Structure 1
Amino acid sequence: MKVAIIGAGASGLTAIKCCLDEGLVPTCYERSEELGGLWNYKDDVRPGQGSVMKSTVINTSKEMMCYSDFPIPAEFPVFMHNKYVMQYFKMYAKQFGLENYIQFSTEMHINSLRLTGTATLKILLKMRRKHVKIVSLKRSKEFSSTGQWDITVKHKTTGKEEEHVYDAVLVCTGHHADVHIPQFPGLDRFRGKVLHSHDFRHTAGYEGKRVLIVGIGNSGGDAAVELSRVASQVFLSTRRGSWILNRVADHGLPLDMANLSRFTTTLASLMPNLAQSFAEGQLNKKFDHALYSLKPKHRIFQQHPMVNDDLPNRIACGAINIKSNVMEFTENGVQFDDGTFVDDIDVVILATGYVFGFPFMEKGLIDVRQNKVELFKYMFAPELERPTLAVVGCFQPIGAIMPICELQCRLATRVFKGDVTLPSKDEMWSDIRTKATIMSHKYVECQRHTIQVDFITFLDELAQLNGCKPNFGAMFLRDPVLAWKCIFGPCTPYQFRLEGPGRWKGARAAIMTQWDRTLQPLKTRPLGAEVEVKGSSLGFLKFLVVFVGLFVLLLSFCMQ
């Protein structure tokens, strides 16, 4: 069974591996010259192709973001600079021989892609060196019976087009390529430089400038902090304000490792208001968000948070000035909706997010409107007669994206093979609409909050469908130490390799040693004694809940 994979970034790489694991024959098309997608930093700006900034450090710790059967080396930093992320991707690709299945320098345009049904693996590997261009993706004429997809490939050197057929397609193009630029009054007459954060790479050339950044997402915060070290003054404009999370939590532990567990997720779902109040209180202990003009009207779990360890420090030293929403631009300045005005602005950076879509697909196949897309598990189009097309990575988690992409690929490849049967069309639509309703009630309404998912909850949904969700009841009886770590410790990706399809023999050992790998890069100076790792601020609460639970069970047993 031949599978076309579009994109060789974080999701495309694991898509190749998952195909190989299931005995499928993948061919991956990547528009650039290297793998890595968004994390493949380039100085030059390429339209429709995202890239991190030169200084970007990932917001999730290495144990939470790794692929589930390939731990990140212990010596790598807890939070990795983009060069380490790329190094990890290359190690992963080398370990499993993934580059043999990638055709680089292939672009997606608005027409079609076909690979011959008789193409063998040797022919596919030979095509990799030809530098072809993909023109489009559409259903084959016999799709209702075969589920096959037509693709037209155009060779860049000869201009010759070839048509081929694939049995299934994995779309791994992400959602950080095409920029969203709101219409601001007067922006067209502003005389300074205007760019989107998509095009901002480094601080060279901004020395001594007065810079306005519009938007307080992660890109806006990162750009503001970096520019504040060289610019004359940075202004950061926000409509609503934002809660600011630190990568580093209590006792210097990574925030996600210390707090993102099955226990805390369950607790937050049972007592959402209490959980939000507790979290907001913890953040305000770091710095008072109202005092720093950042406090939003919404609660902490009602917006995708910003992760930034340096922003309050740069505000405190005056390098960054928080401003309200932009009302209007003038030739040299900007009027804000609180009545204040800032003049002599040299540069405006629009950190206003992205729009996503699939322009290379057959029209009407998957409709995206205002960043809203109706896909089952953000993957499958319910109206397709055959589930041989899956979108991967078209979601926004509160947590790491790589483990979810991997689990989507594991599920998709088993659906393609027929090992997993999707629910009925009505059930899929019901799930899609339920998620949309929950999202509309939970999050502030904006284009940014259309594909939000909860990290552990969504992983469990995918694992349940795929048959690899751990049975914790049986685990407590069989291996109570492991069960304790899985429920009360960080929900690392290895949990989804403990049992079921794709089981990995090293999963238990990886879970038992996950804190060792996390802390290893910090041990750069011998102290003469072993340092005790302190737990998070929820440690006593965990103990109390477990103690009460055991007491209730014992009491009910005695009363029988």
Structure 2
Amino acid sequence: MAKKKVAIIGAGASGLAAIRHALLYGFEPVCFEATNDIGGLWRYKEDERSINGTPLASVMKSTVINSSKEMTAYSDFPPPSSWPNFMHNRQMMVYFRKYAEAYQLTKYIRFNHFIKNVERTFDFENTGNWNVFYVDETHPTLNDELPTRLASGTIIMKPAIRKFTANGICFVDGSIVEQVDTVICATGYSISFPMLEDGKLIPVNDNKVELYKYMYPPELSDKNTLAIIGLTQPLGSFLPISEMQARVFFDVFAGNSKLPKKEEMLEDIRAKQEALKNRYLPTRRHTIQVDYIPFMDELAKLIGCYPSIWKIASMDPFLAWKVFSSPTPSYVYRILGPHSWEGAKEALLEAESRVKDGCNPGKPKTWKPKEKSFGFFKFFIIGFVICIILKLFF
């Protein structure tokens, strides 16, 4: 039987995780990437456009991640001990390349393929299938009107902006333009899905989107064959959330887990919107805000990989203590559930060592956790086991 094909749009941080988990669940991923490389926003681009001429956004040249390497890592790919704890975007690109190489992801990516539109097939109600329309790789083009407008002076090129005045703009070359009516900031603050049925599939109202777990359109709840991965603004790291969303999608798509009906999805969406309304100022900025650990736990419970302390303690009391007492890197969500990872325990136990070594990048390891020497925690472990016994039998 032929494998089911899954279209993945973009080979950035979320797209790479989606390819990885499509393969884990036995699907055939086809990833469409508008540029000639992986990394998405994390690949610094001074002035790059997709093959259809669309300007592409990226991090700034100086951008450094604001969540530590351990909290940012994919759940089955810990960063090297020698790397700094807060990585520059160049280091993030090295991490993405190593991840793609380790799991042979690039062969599933079609570079320089720009998605024009995605729409439901005529038999969607029965199959849940989609048509994907894309612009194939070709030579770059330039709008014919632009050179003429530049030559005639209709469009005037200006250097970088130094500052704004009360009604004008000062540029770095010293020139000033007065009486400016409008400034267009092309910074991507607006949420939109122009490639999904010409932007009509997922309505966006003042930057608010109705997506279950910020992934699924409730209107398609009968099929759930389309999901948005990575559309969150977490208080914490974004990358593990994108990966967990990919895990949820493919677990559901494989038929291993089920999502609630449309009404329950809408109820969950409304509850999240109400919570944001009560917590934040009513601005376009605070529409997809999530708390890292509670949201990761929500997603994990959908597919049975929630790191239950009691379940872990029944297998390994010391590991349960580490899960309980440590920050919550993504490795803890690979201890239990589908596609659990044998290396999750080691990744978690050595995380503190990698953090310490990350304070002195490039230097050899000087410290390693002693799993078998409980020391101060010996009494706690004994008490912990007694509590488990009491819970199980009384």
TM range, smaller chain: 0.7 to 0.9
Select the residue among 34, 59, 69 that pairs with 1:52.
Answer: 59
- Per the alignment, residue 151 of structure 2 pairs with none
Select the residue among 355, 362, 372 that pairs with 2:190.
Answer: 355
- Per the alignment, residue 29 of structure 1 pairs with 32
- Per the alignment, residue 163 of structure 2 pairs with 211
- Per the alignment, residue 78 of structure 2 pairs with 71
Question: Which amino acid is the alignment partner of residue 455 of structure 1?
Answer: Y
Structure (1 or 2) with the greater strand fraction: 1
1:513 and 2:350 correspond:
yes
Q: Aligned partners of 1:356, 1:530: CA distance in 2, in Å?
A: 46
Shift in Å, 1:153:
3.6
Q: Aligned partners of 2:136, 2:71: CA distance in 1, in Å?
A: 40
Q: How many pairs are equivalent?
A: 345
Contact 1:192-1:332 at 8 Å conserved across structures: no
- Per the alignment, residue 146 of structure 1 pairs with 127
Select the residue among 208, 221, 225 that pairs with 1:372.
Answer: 208
- Per the alignment, residue 11 of structure 2 pairs with 8
1:489 and 2:326 correspond:
yes
> After TM superposition, which residue ranges in structure 1, 4 or more long, deviate above 6 angstroms?
524-527, 529-533
Q: Aligned partners of 1:77, 1:455: CA distance in 2, in Å?
A: 22
Change (3 A) 1:504 1:345: farther
Deviations 1:465-522 (A, max 9, x none): 0111112123234423222221221100000000110100000111000011122133
Contact 2:82-2:360 at 8 Å conserved across structures: no
Change (3 A) 1:430 1:329: same
Contact 2:83-2:362 at 8 Å conserved across structures: no
Q: Aligned partners of 1:144, 1:12: CA distance in 2, in Å?
A: 26
1:447 and 2:263 correspond:
no
Q: Aligned partners of 1:12, 1:526: CA distance in 2, in Å?
A: 33
- Per the alignment, residue 381 of structure 1 pairs with 217
Question: Which amino acid is the alignment partner of residue 106 of structure 1?
Answer: H
- Per the alignment, residue 502 of structure 1 pairs with 339
Change (3 A) 1:524 1:443: closer
Select the residue among 87, 103, 110 that pairs with 1:103.
Answer: 110
Alignment of 1:153-552 (within 5 A): 153-157=134-138, 210-211=162-163, 329-331=166-168, 354-363=189-198, 364-384=200-220, 385-523=222-360
Contact 2:232-2:288 at 8 Å conserved across structures: yes
Change (3 A) 1:144 1:470: same
Q: Aligned partners of 2:283, 2:55: CA distance in 1, in Å?
A: 22
Q: Which runs of 5+ in 1 are unaligned?
A: 109-134, 159-190, 194-204, 213-327, 334-343, 534-542
Q: Secondary structure at the match of 2:132?
A: strand
Contact 2:48-2:55 at 8 Å conserved across structures: no
Change (3 A) 1:58 1:351: farther
Q: Aligned partners of 2:137, 2:363: CA distance in 1, in Å?
A: 57
Contact 1:70-1:92 at 8 Å conserved across structures: yes
Q: Secondary structure at the match of 1:435?
A: helix
Deviations 1:211-237 (A, max 9, x none): 36xxxxxxxxxxxxxxxxxxxxxxxxx
Deviations 1:258-310 (A, max 9, x none): xxxxxxxxxxxxxxxxxxxxxxxxxxxxxxxxxxxxxxxxxxxxxxxxxxxxx
Q: Aligned partners of 2:317, 2:18: CA distance in 1, in Å?
A: 33
Change (3 A) 1:426 1:57: same
Moved more, 486-495 or 1-10: 486-495
Shift in Å, 1:350:
5.5
Contact 2:114-2:135 at 8 Å conserved across structures: no
Q: Secondary structure at the match of 1:16?
A: helix
When the two chains are superposed, the root-mean-square deviation of aligned CA atoms in Å is 3.4
Q: Aligned partners of 2:138, 2:41: CA distance in 1, in Å?
A: 27
Q: Aligned partners of 1:532, 1:420: CA distance in 2, in Å?
A: 38
Q: Aligned partners of 1:457, 1:409: CA distance in 2, in Å?
A: 17
Change (3 A) 1:399 1:96: same
Change (3 A) 1:481 1:157: closer
Q: Aligned partners of 1:420, 1:150: CA distance in 2, in Å?
A: 25
Q: Aligned partners of 1:375, 1:139: CA distance in 2, in Å?
A: 18
Q: Secondary structure at the match of 1:138?
A: strand
Q: Aligned partners of 2:101, 2:79: CA distance in 1, in Å?
A: 14
- TM-score norm. by structure 2 comes to 0.79
Give the share of equivalent positions with the same residue, in percent. 44
Contact 1:18-1:410 at 8 Å conserved across structures: yes
Deviations 1:184-233 (A, max 9, x none): xxxxxxx996xxxxxxxxxxx87xx8536xxxxxxxxxxxxxxxxxxxxx
- Per the alignment, residue 169 of structure 1 pairs with none
- TM-score norm. by structure 1 comes to 0.57
Moved more, 516-525 or 486-495: 516-525
Q: Secondary structure at the match of 1:383?
A: helix
Q: Secondary structure at the match of 2:18?
A: helix
